[in-house]
Amino acid sequence: MQKILAGLIILFIVQGSTAFAAEKASVEQVTHLLERTSFGIAPGDIEYVQKIGLDAYLQKQLDPARLKYPPRLSQELAQLHTLSMDAPQLLQQFTLEKDKNHKPTPAENKAIRQQGKIVVAELIAAKTLRAIESPAQLQEVMTDFWYNHFNVFSGKGMDRLLVGVYERDAIRPHVFGKFRDLLMATAKHPAMLVYLDNIRNVAPKTNARGKLVGINENYAREIMELHTLGVDNGYTQADVTSLAHILTGWGVSKGKDRSQNGDFKFNPKEHDWSIKNFLGQRINARGEGEIEEAINILARHPATATHISYKLAQYFVSDEPSKELVAQLANIFSKSDGDISAVLQEILRSDEFWAAKSYNAKFKPPFRYLISIYRAAGIVPNNLKLFRSDLQQMGQVPYHFLTPNGYANTKDIWLNSDALLKRMEKSKILVQQTKISAPALLDVFSSGFSANTIAAINEAGGNNGAVLLLNSPEFLYY
């Protein structure tokens, strides 16, 4: 074990240059692009990309419809039956129907909640399997990025049943499209409206019980602070209040007709029909159309272009991207009317992305770390419940982040002595269970490890060598 720990101090720096202009990309360049646009390098990936070229690889990844799931993955996903259910179906199956003649007992409520846990369990299983086996790796990476950006906590109310529908219908279809469409899809989805309390946001009034109810600013604040403009960037408290009034009446269908429960519903009786002023623009009383207008303003605001560009650059390039790169990306964002694919291509072709300091500069969060082990080994977890438990111990269970800012992807959050020890323990168990070997892993990476690291791995030998490899700087970083 001392030899393994000693190996953790090895440092590795790769020299790089802009690769798309090169006649043939080097192994190091291919490795860099693959690591940033996937959840880890799998057997044959480097050789495949070298053969077809970086540009051909990127264009295929940007068009995931061209990349069909392998039969095994399709079969695995088909067994997760709740994935194909819509919100009304999920609520009908996993909530108790209200009956004035029978009040559910605590035992009945507990039983239905326990049954409902299968929804998130299957969602996590699907995310894990896709991250490991899907050939459309960039789609999975971007789905993960945007879900975190528009985070919804699965533990709040009916969101335990809705987060999968939210990711499937509001996030996944728009990951390479227009930011405005993605923003609208999340704004209109019941999972978001429940999570950030917009279902409680109504025009001020006195309810049937004589209690004053009215404006809830939670979602209005977060859509500006986190989703679009950025913290205290170009808006005032008056804008927050105004947007909250615009959002009144946006809620979720619930009633006697259970076939529609859980779908989006605009309730005109709960909407504030006054004229509003939002970010310096007059918003006439148009009901549901008011938020469409507000979303357009937010999506096309210069502060949004900068905020989204920064987050994408931080995710794909480095924890602290330069102001010059962010400005360059924001210009593309604005000129393309928020075309995510265009901004992403600008990132991946930028000099900063290919600069030597950007290679192996990002520290893998727990989910990416564990997934990258399975991808490198060419296997899937034989116990997905145990895999979820591992993620829980390491602090990153998908769909379980409580606050709307989502899981961080920067080194300062994940790199500490406790985290390194847990990675050591988990990787040791994985190596013992799956018989992962260091020579096989080194072959996958085309020997993209330093001579010192390889010497330390060889000296450790056997299982210890494989554990050392999985905890080396070359593998912990990407």
The model's pLDDT over 225-252, given as tens digits with 9 standing for 90+, comes to: 999 999 989 899 999 999 999 999 999 9
Length of the chain (residues): 478
Nearest to 19 by CA among 7, 6, 32: 32
Do residues 147 and 107 lie in contact, with contact meaning Cβ atoms separated by under 8 Å? Answer: no
The DSSP output letter for 104 is: P
pLDDT score of 170 more than 60: yes
Region of residue 156 (phi > 0: left; psi between -120 and 50: alpha; otherwise: beta): beta
Q: Please state the pTM of the whole predicted model.
A: 0.93
Mean pLDDT of 389-408: 97
Q: What does the domain layout of the chain look like in residue ranges?
A: 2-61+361-476, 63-176, 302-358
Buried b (16+ CB within 10 A) or exposed e, 135-149: bbbbbbbbbbbbbbb
Residue 409: how many CB atoms within 10 A of its CB? 20
In 3D, which of 187, 156, 158, 159 has the Cα closest to residue 171? 187
Q: Which residues of 413-424 are buried (b: 16+ CB within 10 A; e: fewer)?
A: ebeeeebeebbb
- Residues 6 or more apart from 451 whose CB is under 8 A from it? none
Q: What pLDDT sits at residue 18?
A: 67
When comparing pLDDT for 104 and 178, which is higher?
A: 178
- Of the pLDDT bands very low, low, confident and very high (cuts 50, 70, 90), residue 209 is low
> What are the b/e assignments for 154-193, b being 16+ CB within 10 Å?
bebebbbbbbbbbbbbbbbebbbebbbbbbbbbbbbbbbb
Residue 470 has pLDDT above 80, yes or no: yes
Give yes or no for a contact between 298 and 223, defined as CB atoms under 8 angstroms apart. yes
Q: Give ∠ CA 227-35-457 in degrees, rounded to 5.
A: 135
Q: With both helix axes pointing from N to C terminus, report the angle between 417-434 and 462-470 in degrees, rounded to the nearest 10.
A: 140
Q: What is the pLDDT of residues 416-453, one digit of tens each?
A: 999 999 999 999 999 999 999 999 999 999 767 999 99
In angstroms, rounded to a whole number, what is the distance separating the alpha carbons of residues 417 and 471? Answer: 12
